Amino acid sequence: MRERIEAEIRTALKAGERLQVETCRMLLAAIKNEEIAKRRPLTEDEAVAILTRAVKTRQDSVALYDKGGRPELAEKERREIDIVRKFLPEALSEEEMARAIDDIIRETGATTKKDMGRVMKELMSRHPGRVDGRLANQIAASRLT
């Protein structure tokens, strides 16, 4: 993951894409900080988790900027989300996610909304970085009564 981000920085520098360079450098810094904290190189799953958190943070920022009447800042965050997502595994489609949730519900015997946490935890562990949490939550909630 780190090598892919470093290569993207070099490419973006040559192309003069400032936002891409800034975003990739921020991702690289987040990965390096986590490696320092753990005192070892990160696994691919740990790096994906960092990038997933970066997307979530930006999505929250977009909502706040839109609510606060700052469309230019919201658009910048959206472009950063697109950049970060290039490094993440391809997200599950709605149908794939629904199938995965149905399988987990069947395997765990979940029946009520109280089991939602168990279902979501299992879904996230089986498909790291590939799940849109909000959509998964909606699908799981509709399946559990």
What mean pLDDT is predicted for residues 71-77?
Answer: 97
Same structural domain for residues 22 and 76? Answer: yes
C-alpha–C-alpha distance, residues 18 and 24, integer Å:
10
C-alpha–C-alpha distance, residues 129 and 53, integer Å:
9
Q: Please identify, among 65, 85, 105, the residue that sits at the C-terminal boundary of a domain.
A: 85
Print the domain residue range for 137.
94-143
Q: Which two tokens stand for residue 17?
A: 């894409």
Q: What percent of the chain has pLDDT over 70?
A: 100
**pLDDT confidence bin for 91, thresholds 50/70/90:** confident
C-alpha–C-alpha distance, residues 132 and 128, integer Å:
10
Give the start-end residues of each E strand in 50-106: none
Is residue 28 within 8 A of residue 110, CB to CB? The reply is no
Q: Which two tokens stand for residue 113?
A: 């909304």
CATH number of the domain within which 65 lies: 1.10.1510.10
Q: Which two tokens stand for residue 21?
A: 């360079």
